[in-house]
Copies of this chain bind each other. A is one copy, B any other.
Amino acid sequence: MKGKITIRDVADMARVSNQTVSRVINNRPDVAEETRQRVWQVIEALNYRPNALARSLIQQRSLTLGVITAGLQFLGPSQTLNGIIRQAEAMGYSLLLKELPHFHSNHSRPLLNTLLARQVEGIIWAVPEIGDNRYPIDDQLHQVSVPIIYLTMRKLPGVSTVAVDNYLGGRMAAQHLIDQGYRHIAHISGPLDWWEARQRQWGWFDTLREAGLSVSEKYSVPGDWSTASGAQAMTHLIGRYPDMDAVFVANDQMALGAMHAAHRRGYRIPDDLGVVGFDGMPEAAYFAPPLTTVSQDLRELGSTAVRQLSHAIGFDRPDDLVFEPGYISLRPELYIRESSVPNSS
């Protein structure tokens, strides 16, 4: 460790007091031009960098946001983080990042405490709602003195949440398959302790039922989001549901596995079997065949969360405005490709 240069060193060398240096680095107007110049020269000569910790301490403002994420090795969480960090930098916030050891972890307390100890001005809880992994947070929510924005979970009163409308996405997928003439539409879901997985499943279920098509929970087989599990689920479905002529798969990766397994069993896609995925990963346009998918804009999800959080923090908000917690729902979009458009139709 080299001895750090402090504001005192600059002040001494420029023969002014430290608060004149402070005025210079904060671009205050009330400094003689000649003094300003001299101070800047010393700052550059010494390569002085003001200590942001000291500044935060006195200003009671850290300009830092905390993010708690999970499963960063997967596409979704990292897309979301990408959106968060972009928007945060654009708004002048730094990001303190924490990751849960795994999706189901309910050891979020120490992570939350670390963030709060470091005086973050707000927190984004970017962990999908799975089972009761959110309870520890709800539990201590009333003890947390900074605003929290939740991502991707169900509506709760008094809580700010941003989420993609997964139920609508499920409906869009199912409706599209119906429109294309498919009548026996199965589902490969995500793990059913995931809120997102259940929403997509319900969208599929409700749409089929409302259309008067035969539908049953038996026609829905869960995977674990992985390509391998999609292949396995498809094999189960083939055994269980011989009439099946289409399948809505809850993410693109499982859809890839499902198409792979169906192909090996002699199904031609889309003629024997229509397939729709979920997520809109760019590679899906190059699967064999190109995959129809319900696209969700997770980067938009992330940046929306940061904007909401900034409002909730309120430094940029007029004093007479009050932040109202609310639920923001993002609309997914259907990308239609070969996998769901039979040649005969």
A96–B96 CB distance below 8 A: yes
> Any chain B CB within 8 A of the CB of A131?
no
- A1 contacts partner chain B, Cβ-Cβ < 8 Å: yes
Given contacts A2-B145, A99-B85, contact A52 B118 (CB under 8 A): yes
- Number of interface residues, chain A, beta carbon within 8 A: 56
Q: In the complex, are the beta carbons of B81 and A282 less than 8 A apart?
A: no
Copies of chain A in the complex: 2
Residues facing B in A120-147 (CB within 8 A) are 143, 145
- A253 contacts B283, C-beta separation under 8 Å: yes
Q: How far is the CB of A124 from chain B (nearest CB, A)?
A: 13
Q: A187 near B: Cβ within 8 Å?
A: no
B73 touches A299 (CB 8 A): yes
Q: Are B286 and A260 in contact (CB under 8 A)?
A: yes
Binds B, one of A43-51, A158-166, A319-327: A43-51
Q: Could you list 5 A-B pairs, sorted by A, with CB under 8 Å? A: A1-B60, A49-B116, A73-B79, A73-B299, A228-B285
List chain A positions with a Cβ less than 8 A from chain B: 1-2, 4, 47, 49-54, 56-57, 60, 62, 72-73, 75, 78-79, 81-82, 85-86, 89, 94-99, 113-114, 116-119, 143, 145, 226-228, 230-231, 253, 256-257, 259-260, 263, 282-283, 285-288, 299
